[in-house]
Structure 1
C-alpha cells in the first residue's frame, strides 16, 4: 500500500487509471478512488475465485503529481480460495521435498561432525580404558561439554597410566622382595642346620674325651696330655660360635647408623702388616699397589673384618713360595693369589655358609667355612658386589666399589 501510494504520487491524474488497474490485476483487489463526491471504482475479481467474508480492506490517502490536495483511497483485497491454495501447494510440493531432503542431508552431516563423531571417539576411548589400555589421546578439539569431557579423559588417562606404572614397579619390587625374603629364609634354615651339624661334632668329641678321662680309659688316664687337645677343641668351638654370633649381629643390626667415611687404602695397609708374619711363615710375598685415597662409606670394623678374611684366605690357601697381589683403584679392589686354583664346580657356592673346597672338614687345613660368607654379607650391606674367579695359575677376588 505504501509503495502503491508513492507510485500514485508520482503519476499524473489522467494516467492514474492505468496504474490503478495494473495494481488491481497484480493483487486481485478492488480500488475505490474518491474524487470530491464521486467514487470511482477500479478492478474486478472473477466470479467464484473468492470466498465470502475472506476480504481485507485498507484505507489511505494519495496525491497526484499534477494536482494538489489529497484523495481518499480504499483497497479491498480478497483471500485466495482453498482450491487455489491446494493447487499452489501441489505445484511447489516437489520443491519443498527437495529442500527438506537437502536440509536433512546437510543437518545429518553437520550433526555427524559436530555431535556424533566426538561421541563415537569418546566411546572408542572408553572401551580401551575398560581394557586398561592407556596408550591413547582423545583428539576432540572443542570448547563445549564434549571438549571438557575429552580433556578430562586425557588427564585421567595420563594419571592412571602413571599410577599403573608405579603400581607395576611396586609389584615388581614387592615380588623381588618376596623372592629375596624366601631366599633368606631358606638360607637361614640351611645355615642353622649346618651350624647345628658343625657344633654337634666338637660337642660329641668333648663329651667323649671328658667321659673317658673320668673313667680313666686308655690314654685318657693321662689328663695332662689329653686336656690340651680338649682345650684346642673348645677353642675351635668358641671360634665357630663367635663367627655365628658375628653373622647374627650383622643380619640383625646391619650398618645400624654406623656408616662413616672409611679409607680402604689405610685399612689394607694395616691388615697387610697384621698378616705379614703369617705370610713370612709360609714364605709368601705380598705385593701392594694401592691408590692414595680411596674412601667408602660404611662401618669401619665390619669392613676391616671383610678385608682381613679376604687377605688371610689368599695367604692361607696359597702354596709356599707363592705371591699375593693387592691392587686398589677408586672403582675396584682385586686380591690375586698365585700357584692355586679352585674347581669350577665349587666357584658358584664359595660364599655358601660352612662350604669348604677341602671336603674333609679337617681343622688343620681350613677354617669353619664361614669366612667368605661373612665377607659377602658385609659387602652386601655396603652395596659392594664381589666375585671369585680362576685366572691363569691364580685365584682372583674382585670387589666392585662403584
Structure 2
C-alpha cells in the first residue's frame, strides 16, 4: 500500500511538472506525432508493398517470356540453346521446347522449389523450322511473404531508428520553438516584478521577434516613466518636507512673536493700571511715562520687524531691482551708526577701496548692512574696534573683545534666538535682526555666515561680484 501511494504521488508530481512545462509538452507532442507518422508509414509499407512486389515480379517475368518468344522466332533451332540458357540464368527459370516427338529442357528446376512458380506454355516457331513447337516456361516469383518476413526481421532496428529520429526531431523542435518563448516568459516575469535591467535580443524576424521587440520597447518606456515618476515623487517629497518645515517655522515664529509681544504688553498694562490707581511710585505719572514710552518704542520696533518679515514671506523677492554700489551703501550706513559707535568710544576701521557693484533692492540690502554693523557695535565692549571689509566676493563685519559659544552658532539665524537667555533688552535686541539678514540674503542669492575669529566675531555676507547676477527665487511666493 505504501509503494502504491508513493507511485501515485510520483505520478501526480510528474503530471504537475508536465502541465507546467511547455518544453516537455512540445517535446512529447512532437515525439509522439513523429513516432505515429513513422509507424503508420511502416504499417502501410508492410501491408501494401508485398502485394505490389508480387504483381511487379509477375509482370517482369511475363515481359521476359514475351521477349524470349520474339527472340526465338528469329533464331535457328540449332542456336536456341544459348538464348534460352541466358534467359534461365536471368530469371532462374526452367524452359522446355518440344514438338510432340522431341523436347529439350533448360535451367535448374531444383533452385525454384521454395518459391512460387509461374508457368506459361506458348506455341512458337523458329527461323529454320516452321513446324509448331511448344515453349513451356516455369519461372519463380518471389512471394510477398518473404518481403513481410524481411520487414519483420528489421522491425527492432527500425523501431530504434524511429525512436532516435523522433527524439532528436522533437528535441530540436522544442528548443527552436520553446526556447524563445521561455526567454520571453522570463522577461515578462521580470517585467512584472518591475525589473527593467534585462534585454531579450532574439534576433528573429517572425512573430516571436516582434513580440520580443515590443516587450523591449515597453520595458524601456515603462522604465522611463518609472524614472520620471520617481523623480517627480522625490521632488514632491522634498516640497512636502519643505512645506512642513516652513509651516513648523511659521508656527514657531508666531508662537515666539506672541510671546515677545505679550511681555511688553503686560508691562504696559501693569504700568498704566498702577498709574490709574495711583499705586506707590506710579502716583507720579510724569516720572513713569518715559519708561512706558521706552516699552512702547520697543514694542513698536518689534512689530515693525515682524511686519517686515511677514511682508518678505508673503510678497517674495521685491520688484524694484537696480545696480548698487556697495561702497557707497556701506558708507551711508556707517555714517548713520557712527554716533552709536562714538557713544561707546569705539573706532570703525573701513576697507572699502575696491569698487563692488551688485544687482538688488537698495532698501533691503541697506537693512542687511545696518543689522550686521549695529549688532557688531552693540555686542562689543566699550572701546573695542570694529573692522568693515568689502571685496568683490564678500562683505565682512568683525568686532573684537567678544566671542559666541560654539553651540549657539548654528542657531543665530533662528527667529527670536538670542545668545543671552535672559532676554534683557539692555543686552540685546529682539532676535529678529539676523533672521532678516538671512532671509534678505537668500532672496538675493547671497549667503551669510557668523563665526568666531582670533579677534572676536565676524559676520560675512558672500555675494557674486558680477553686476548682472540674477536673484535667487528660492523664497518667491
Tell me, yes or no, whether TM beats 0.5.
yes
Say whether residues 1:285 and 2:317 are aligned partners: no
- For residues 273 and 167 of structure 1, the distance between their equivalents in structure 2, rounded to whole angstroms, comes to 56
CA-CA distance at 1:254 after TM superposition:
1.2
Q: 1:358 to 1:290 in 2, by over 3 A?
A: farther
Distance 1:175 1:343 in 2: 35
Of 396, 414, 420, the residue aligned with 1:358 is 420
Equivalent in 43, 47, 62 of residue 30 of structure 1: 62
Alpha-carbon displacement from aligned partner over 1:133-182 (angstroms, at most 9, x marks no partner): 22222232222222222222222222222322332233233223222222
CA contact (8 A) 2:256 2:416 kept: yes
Q: TM-score, normalised by structure 2?
A: 0.63
1:355 Cα deviation (Å)? 1.6
Question: Which residue is 1:242 aligned to?
Answer: 304
2:185 paired with 1:153: no
Paired with 1:373 and 1:194, the residues of 2 have a C-alpha distance of 13
Q: How many Å apart are 1:241 and its aligned residue?
A: 0.6
Contact 1:287 1:323 in 2 (8 A): no
| Whole-angstrom CA distance in 1 between matches of 2:459 and 2:232 | 35
Q: TM-score, normalised by structure 1?
A: 0.74
Deviations 1:61-113 (CA, angstroms, capped at 9, x unpaired): xxxxxxxxxxxxxxxxx998552442343355455445434543443453354
The match for 2:454 is 392
Which residue matches 1:86?
148
1:1-400 equivalences under 5 Å are: 28-31=60-63, 32-33=66-67, 82-94=144-156, 96-255=158-317, 264=326, 266-282=328-344, 283-289=346-352, 291-296=354-359, 298-400=360-462
Tell me the SS of whatever aligns to 2:398. Answer: strand
Quote the Cα distance in structure 1 between the aligned partners of 2:292 and 2:381.
30
- Structure 1 pair 230–145 and aligned structure 2 pair: CA distance change class (3 A): same
Q: Please tell me whether the aligned partners of residues 115 and 141 of structure 2 are also in contact (alpha carbons under 8 angstroms).
A: no
For the residue of structure 1 that corresponds to 2:399, the secondary structure is strand
Q: Is the 8 A contact 1:290 1:327 kept in 2?
A: no
Give SS of 1:30's match: helix
**Structure with more contact order per residue of length (Cα contacts < 8 Å, sep ≥ 6):** 2
The structure carrying a bigger helix percent of its residues is 2
Whole-angstrom distance in 1 between the partners of 2:200 and 2:395: 55
The 3 A distance-change label for structure 1 pair 292 and 118 is farther
Any idea what SS the aligned residue of 2:460 has? strand
**Deviation of the 1:322 alpha carbon:** 2.8
Instruction: Give me the whole-angstrom Cα distance separating, in 2, the residues matched to 1:127 and 1:393.
Output: 69
Structure 2 match to 1:8:
none
Superposed CA RMSD in Å reads 3.7
Cα distance in structure 2, aligned partners of 1:378 and 1:105: 84
Deviation of 1:268 (Å):
3.4
Q: Is the 8 A contact 1:341 1:395 kept in 2?
A: yes
Gaps of 5+ in 1: 1-23, 53-77
Larger radius of gyration, structure 1 or 2? 2
How far off is 1:246 after superposition?
0.9
Count of residues paired in the alignment = 353
Identify if the C-alpha distance between structure 1 residues 118 and 245 changes in structure 2 by more than 3 Å, giving closer, same or farther: same
